[in-house]
Structure 1
Amino acid sequence: MAESCNYHSAAAAAWRCQPCSRHYCGDCIPGASANYPNGRPDCPLCHKPIDFIGASNGAKPFWQMGLFYFKYALQPGPLTVLALATGASLLISGFGILSLALLLATVALVTRYNLLVIERLAGGQLQAPAFGDALDGNSAPLFAKVIGMTLIAGFVGYKLMAFSQGALQLYSLALSLLAPAAMIVLALEKSLRAAINPLKLLQFTLIIGWPYWLLWLATSAVSAAPGYLLLLIGGKLPLWAIAPVVAASTSYFYIVTSAMMGYICLARQQRLGIIAERDDEVDYLEEREFDRARALAESQILMREGDFKAARRTLVECLRRFPDDPALNERYYRLLLATQDKKALRELGPHLLEKFIRMNRAHKAAELYLATDPLPTIDKSHLRHSLAEALYRQQKYRHAAQLLNNLHKEDWDYRHLDAAYVLLAQIYIDGFNREDLARKLLTYVRQKFPDSNLRKQVDTLEKVLAGAQVAT
């Protein structure tokens, strides 16, 4: 079952901090590897490097991916390998030195590519590697190690022949059972010693668990497929076509089994000690956006953990650089609410609310204003007006009216007093059915502001009130 993020329960975890036993999603750890100084993010809590588990955490069980393995071998990289093997088989003629060299070079490249398939899939890369990735100079050394494994296995079998036939049969069965584990260990560690160490191989099978034996059955069946295919169609092919068919089918099913071996490691990535590499270029953020996203993510995590001082430090530091960022300001305001810092809310609340108004976030200012207990005292008339307008739209009539009541007594020079009182009249009409108070306000506006641009609106409201009076 996939692990969920500790701070976003609906999101699958993409990162894990082993010391903290915390799981993080992509929102908690924003950006790409290139955004971090060491190419690897640190834990927001303990500041130690964290492990990427995105691919393994979301991986389906091995046995549910049957079609994936066969389609995997039809990608451009594997098809290039198939073409190389097929072409080489057509060029090989007899057992001359050139033919033998070509055969060995082809087998070495195919072997290297298949080991690369295991390595990349184990690391979480579901896209098949390009053929050029196998041309890294490791083909000959790894092929030599595969030959070494074969020779050592044959030598041990030869020695066991001196004991009994039963011992040899038991050894042959053990070789068959541990062969996938040996190839996987060689692909991941590139060590001949590790690949022939029976204790290492046994430990590997125990880490994988019972799906390993399912892997063994699947790879055994798929590995036998080229032989059965040749039996079915071999008699119908011309002699010159037999070698290419054998080469192509063997290469194809070899890649299929390698895909199986690589994928089964994916779900046990962490227990096997595999460090996955992220292909995350598209997640890269510019420096300003990354700093902002990281501050938001870390402050949320710290708040959830109850470390409000650290969260506040993180936000204040980022707000110094981005003072007008809406998300940072909202997070800071909510931090003050969460800590019930009444002094800060009393002193900073109106300033922060004014910021939201200035940033065209009046709805957010109204939301935060109502969330504050006790309600902050608003001295600036334009802020009271803007908040009241936003509250009116949200049908919070009582709070909107409180902000505008007696505004003319407290700020006679407010240049939008006519608009504020027309709004208050609308609040009385829609929210309280107080037509009497609305008429008084409209009369006040008509008398005190004869040149107001709102005369048409005043006329309309007065007609509405007149119609309501006739109806009653």
Structure 2
Amino acid sequence: MKHDCHYHPGEPAKWHCGACQMHYCSSCMPDADTRKQLALCPHCGQSMRYLGAASEVVPFWNRLSAFFRYPFHLGPLMVIGICTLVPMMLSTNLAGALITLALLLALFKYTYTVIRHTADGHMEPPPLATAFTGGGFSIVILQLVVFFLMGGLVFSAALIGGPLLAFLVLAFVILALPASIMVLAMENEVGPAINPMNLAVLISRIGWPYFLLYGYVILLTLASGAAQEFALNHFEPWLAQPLAGFLNSTFTLILFHMLGYLLFQYQEELGFASDLQDSNGEEDQGPHRDRSKRLDADIDMNLKDGNYDRVLGMLKEALKREPGNAHRLGQLHRLLTARKDVAELYRHHPRLLEWLASRNDADSIRDLLKTLNEAEPGFRLEDPELAVSCALPLYRHGEYKWVLRLLQDFHKRFPNSDHLAPAYLLVAQTLANGLGQWEKATAFLNFIRKKCLDHPLHAQIDTWLEQAARREPLKGPKASFDVVGGMSS
């Protein structure tokens, strides 16, 4: 069953809190441990159930082409090639028969491994070594036992209830055969794989898609038989036999991959959780997860719940730990601006203006200064460096009125500031280049020449004075000085 995230509709849920009855996506739970399937609900703090990829997996009927491509990866091709071609090269003696049997067991072991591998979220085939190393060879014997017991069940039904009961039991056995194979591959036990109630429950939980899959199974079986018959009837025996074996193995892998994918698709209904394992997403960072992502998620959820005061508190605490965190300053600015919280904007205006100036965001600087002036008529910045830093982007974006307001009476307010020369050069550029007031611009340039003898800009004042006399834009050499970094017209 598909569940969307409570806070991000359209995003598949990965976690569910039984206490809150809420679903969360990966963005809401950046600190969750998906490998251990552990996470605490952001609201109540209780452990949550991991849903895996159940809410985002593509239905199997929409990826049929991927099923048919599956056997043609390197691993499956090598397994099929070895198990099909090698027996043909062996002598017809006891050793050859034993090797052929061993390869047949390896092939069947590999196909059953495909079901579990796919159900665990691996859409790429298992490696070649899976077929020939490790345990798991007993799965073939167990499957034979299951077939034998199912045959015995049909035979017993015939003895007890006659042909009609035998036919009904046989029909159920044939219908439940894919379910039995899936159960055996996942549990490696005969009992659950032949238990009629267990199989019926599995089929009912999957629902109608099981019968759709069953139709595909029949089509695959018919297609495999037809392809093998064509090969045997139209090619020489030396080519027909390996080709028929290759086709049989290929269709078997397609079928078993499809069965595993059905388990993966309906994992929630079947009571387990797994996620896509072959994607190139971010690795689980374990104890080294970025805690800032948890804070981002909490801020996002509280904003959507309307808990604005709580978000403000979170941001204040975060900025106490990291006063210069640009990301948090941006969040604080957007929150306070959206809420029109003049008091908090005034309280935090120095750091907010500094952040806006670093981003060259003249529009936001202008709007914030306007808000501050409305709250306190005649408001002025008390930091000379901040005043020049804010005036620069305002000048570049043609906000000349605000440049002049910011730097008004700068020499009276900050007579000993190292920023006096840059400030009045900017005023001169504003008056000349922006407003065409050349006489006033010349007066400010003369002030710099007279009062700022030790500043690096003093050496270039004559160039700007000549440009002002010719009523040319004040460009001149680029000014560079340590106190504000660098500035040009």
Structures share fold, TM-score greater than 0.5? yes
Q: How far is the alpha carbon of 1:180 from its aligned partner? A: 1.5
Whether the 8 Å contact between 1:296 and 1:315 is mirrored in structure 2 is: no
> Which residue, 382, 388, 396 being the options, matches 1:393?
396
Could you say which residue in structure 2 is the equivalent of 1:262?
Answer: 260
Q: How far is the alpha carbon of 1:239 from its aligned partner? A: 4.0
Residue 198 of structure 1 aligns to which amino acid in structure 2?
Answer: P
Could you say which residue in structure 2 is the equivalent of 1:418?
Answer: 421
Moved more, 453-462 or 412-421: 453-462
**Structure 2 residue matching 1:375: 3-state secondary structure:** helix
Could you say which residue in structure 1 is the equivalent of 2:347?
Answer: 347
What aligned pairs does 1:40-439 form with structure 2 within 5 A after superposition?
40-47=38-45, 48-49=47-48, 51=50, 53=52, 55-90=53-88, 96=94, 98=95, 101-134=98-131, 137-162=134-159, 163-277=161-275, 279=277, 283-284=282-283, 290-307=290-307, 311=311, 319=319, 322-335=322-335, 344-354=344-354, 361-363=358-360, 367=364, 370=367, 374-375=371-372, 378-427=381-430, 434-436=435-437, 439=439
**Structure 2: 5+ residue runs without aligned partners?**
374-378, 475-489
**Structure 1: 5+ residue runs without aligned partners?**
468-472
Distance 2:400 2:418 in 1: 23
Could you say which residue in structure 1 is the equivalent of 2:22?
Answer: 21
Whether the 8 Å contact between 2:17 and 2:41 is mirrored in structure 1 is: no
- 1:292-314 C-alpha deviation (Å, 9 max, x unpaired): 34433443334333455665666
Distance 1:126 1:304 in 2: 36
**How big is the alpha-carbon RMSD for the aligned residues of Structure 1 and Structure 2?**
3.9
Residue 410 of structure 2 aligns to which amino acid in structure 1?
Answer: L
**Structure 1 residue matching 2:270: 3-state secondary structure:** coil
Whether the 8 Å contact between 1:81 and 1:131 is mirrored in structure 2 is: yes
Q: How far is the alpha carbon of 1:78 from its aligned partner? A: 1.2
Whether the 8 Å contact between 1:333 and 1:349 is mirrored in structure 2 is: no
Q: How far is the alpha carbon of 1:176 from its aligned partner? A: 2.1
Report percent identity of matched pairs: 23
| Structure with the larger RCO, 1 or 2 (CA within 8 Å, 6+ apart) | 1
Q: How far is the alpha carbon of 1:170 from its aligned partner? A: 2.7
Distance 2:399 2:201 in 1: 66
- 1:400-442 C-alpha deviation (Å, 9 max, x unpaired): 44322333332222322233234345445677xx444x64244
**Structure 2 residue matching 1:22: 3-state secondary structure:** strand
Residue 65 of structure 1 aligns to which amino acid in structure 2?
Answer: R
Residue 412 of structure 2 aligns to which amino acid in structure 1?
Answer: K
Task: Indicate yes or no: 2:440 matched with 1:446.
Answer: no
Could you say which residue in structure 2 is the equivalent of 1:470?
Answer: none
**TM-score, structure 2 as length reference:** 0.77
Distance 1:43 1:442 in 2: 66
